[in-house]
Chain A
Amino acid sequence: MERYYQPEIECASREEIIAIQNKKLKEQVKHVWDNVPYYRKKMEEAGVTPDDVQTIDDLKKLPFLSKSDLRDAYPYGLVGVPLKDCVRIQSTSGTTGKRVVAFYTKEDIDLWEDCCARAIVAAGGTNEDVCQVSYGYGLFTGGPGLNGGSHKVGCLTVPTSSGNTERQIMFIRDLNTTILCCTPSYAAYLGETMKEMGLSPEEIPLKAGIFGAEAWSEEMRHDIEKTLGIKAYDIYGLTELSGPGVAFECCAQSGMHINEDHFLAEIIDPNTGEPLPDGTKGELVFTSLDKKAFPLLRYRTRDVCMLTREKCPCGRTHVKMAKPMGRTDDMLIIRGVNVFPSQIETVLLNHGYPANYQILVDRVNNSDTLEVLVEMTPEMFTDDMGEITRRQKQLVDGLKSMLGIKAKVTLVSPKTITRSEGKAVRVIDKRKI
């Protein structure tokens, strides 16, 4: 029997959801117009007033916000309430430039934690569970978000934060942790470490994992599920909107339900900005319907994915987003071809290699080169050099057929590619253009 944290809203009819969205959107546009001069100016330039936005169909009239707007308006330019009503900030890692600082009122945090609680319940969490939050705590939203959600569900919350692998494993074993929240690469690393310690999946008390904050493939999910003996669920979010819990996976494990009562999703053509129909791949754009301290309208996430409204066996009615296949800005253009790191990962896992890899892009004699470093594993190693070379060749062929361009594959010693306890550095682009 599927359980829900807020069944009345998670399983509401389409009409009910649209009615909520229409009402909230009108109020939110008015709130932004009245309180965020930065966005009001954009609306005025686009010739739009709050009266022009009556229903969600009018959304397309509103101008976009992008990451560069967040930088321009840094730090207070997009804040929608007096600072006395803000109780917290969270911030991005700033890997792609200046940090984004997002603001929260008490109610914003409350609703954010509800979203995370929905994700934990969808992963099978109850107040009987021990939930270990191994996302970083602090400015990063991962730790605080899942921590809050875990409290709401009533789980015994273990706030280990990231890092200190030995201590993580000690708590998992000593406290019988049943739900693990962290990045998928760290989950894989924990699994690998426990395997090396001689622990079989049956000896690991975990039953579910909620993994997000970086791209991971279906194959990586199977790997993690196998080594840890769990069900691994994806969770999606971004600091700009709140943090993890914007969307989450249910038992169907086939896309993430977007919390549509709080976040209005669109897919657009990243080049023209035109909205695209469901089932079409494009850039994901979100409008925050409830956030008062940091109310973003039509924020371009740069994540490339698609939406589906097909009926979900879990009973939830909220629209599902596919796992982002990459980011418009992670997308590498190599010899004129679009390449996403996730595609390379898929090929590696299909060929029996670990998901630990690094992509080196360079330019030699005015031509792009792509090299993939892959760690050798005991399973893949044999005394037969010809066999290793044959497998290497198969991998090169596999990459060629997936990407459409040739990549060089270099086998490296184990543990030479930097392991991340936060986000993985997968791509090194040395091209000077």
Chain B
Amino acid sequence: MSVKQISVFIENKPGTMHELTKVLAENHIDMRALSLAETEGFGIVRILVDDVMETSSVLKDAGYIYQLTPVVVVAVPDEPGGLNKVLTVFTAAGINLNYMYAIPGKTTAYIIFRVEDVKLAEKELRQAGIHIADQEEISAL
């Protein structure tokens, strides 16, 4: 059910992000979401893409170090209280968020959650009647 996020290691210095986007662009990889976490020396670029297999092989050939990470992606209606509803479920179930980022949209936003127990999070969300996006839905965006 969960969506595969690709986490890529890059050095924290001028041009490294550009090198990565260049590789993706040259191989016609379409990104759906992107987030960058960094420390002084290095960074982790987290992306959702249209084609996970293809992107993996492109990154491998280009010599990148990356990892596929399961994330929970939730479609939230773009209205006040939308995100709050999801977080209420997580809090009630004692689910800890490692990090989150979003894909804004005109009527619907997609929020990407990284949690320890993806299965549990999905079960709780389903029980609360919240729609969870799958890879197909993300690819089709």
Contact = CB atoms under 8 A, between A and B. Distances in A.
Q: Is A bound to B?
A: yes
A413 B41 contact: no
A388 B67 CA distance: 13
Specify which of A385, A389, A412, A414 lies most central, judged by the most chain B CB atoms within 10 Å of its CB. Answer: A385
B11 A384 contact: no
A415 to B, nearest CB: 6
The dominant DSSP class at the B interface is strand
A359 to B, nearest CB: 16
Interface in B84-137: 98, 114
A409 to B, nearest CB: 8
Interface residues of B, number: 20
A13 interface: no
A385 B5 CA distance: 15
A419 B13 CA distance: 22
Given A412-B11, A413-B9, A414-B65, A383 B41 contact: no
B118 to A, nearest CB: 12
Contacts of A377: 65
Interface in A236-270: none
B63 A376 contact: no
Contacts of A415: 63
A376 B65 contact: yes
Interface in A358-378: 376-378
A179 to B, nearest CB: 31
Interface string A403-416: 00000001111111
Nearest to B98: A384
Interface string A109-123: 000000000000000
Interface in A3-56: none
A413 B66 CA distance: 11
Given A383-B114, A412-B11, A413-B10, A378 B42 contact: no
Contacts of A392: 41
Interface in B43-66: 44, 46, 63-66
Contact of A376 (B9, B37, B46, B98): B9
Contacts of B11: 411-413, 416
B91 to A, nearest CB: 22
A414 to B, nearest CB: 6
A414 B46 CA distance: 18
A412 B46 CA distance: 18
B65 A385 contact: no
A241 to B, nearest CB: 41
A382 interface: yes
Specify which of A383, A414, A415 lies most central, judged by the most chain B CB atoms within 10 Å of its CB. Answer: A383
Contacts of B21: none
24 contacts: A376-B9, A376-B65, A377-B65, A378-B65, A381-B67, A383-B7, A383-B44, A383-B67, A383-B69, A383-B114, A384-B98, A385-B37, A388-B42, A389-B39, A411-B41, A411-B42, A413-B9, A413-B11, A413-B16, A413-B65, A414-B63, A414-B65, A415-B63, A416-B11
> 7 closest Cβ contacts across the A-B interface?
A383-B7, A383-B69, A381-B65, A410-B41, A411-B42, A376-B9, A376-B65
Interface of A: 376-378, 381-385, 388-389, 392, 410-416
